[in-house]
Amino acid sequence: MCPRRFVGASGRPLDFTVRRFTTALDTSSLLWGLLFGSIGLGFFVYGRRQRTIVPLLCGVALMVFPYFVSNTILLVILGLAFIAIPYFVRM
């Protein structure tokens, strides 16, 4: 018996291979990202209600940057830096 091949409307065989993405998304990165995103949401809401730009921008940065940083140590360092910026920069 030969294996059955699935053919599309054009007559070509269908390809069911799954592309594998090589992202380094482990549990620690996911949890750190969740923590910094939650703190960022708090900063964003505080900055919007108080009409201060520094907490607002740091809140947006804290919510967005975990999507672009895959190294866990760099994620923690940048997250702590974004949390500290509103404390040191007061406008």
Question: What is the model's pLDDT at position 75?
Answer: 94
Q: Structure tokens of 74? A: 């760099």
Q: What is the pLDDT of residues 61-80, one digit of tens each?
A: 999 999 998 889 999 999 99
Q: How far is CA 50 from CA 44, 81, 89, in A?
A: 10, 22, 15
Note if the pTM is more than 0.75.
no
Q: Structure tokens of 47? A: 């900055």
Q: What is the pLDDT of residues 54-66, one digit of tens each?
A: 999 999 999 999 9
Question: What is the model's pLDDT at position 8?
Answer: 66
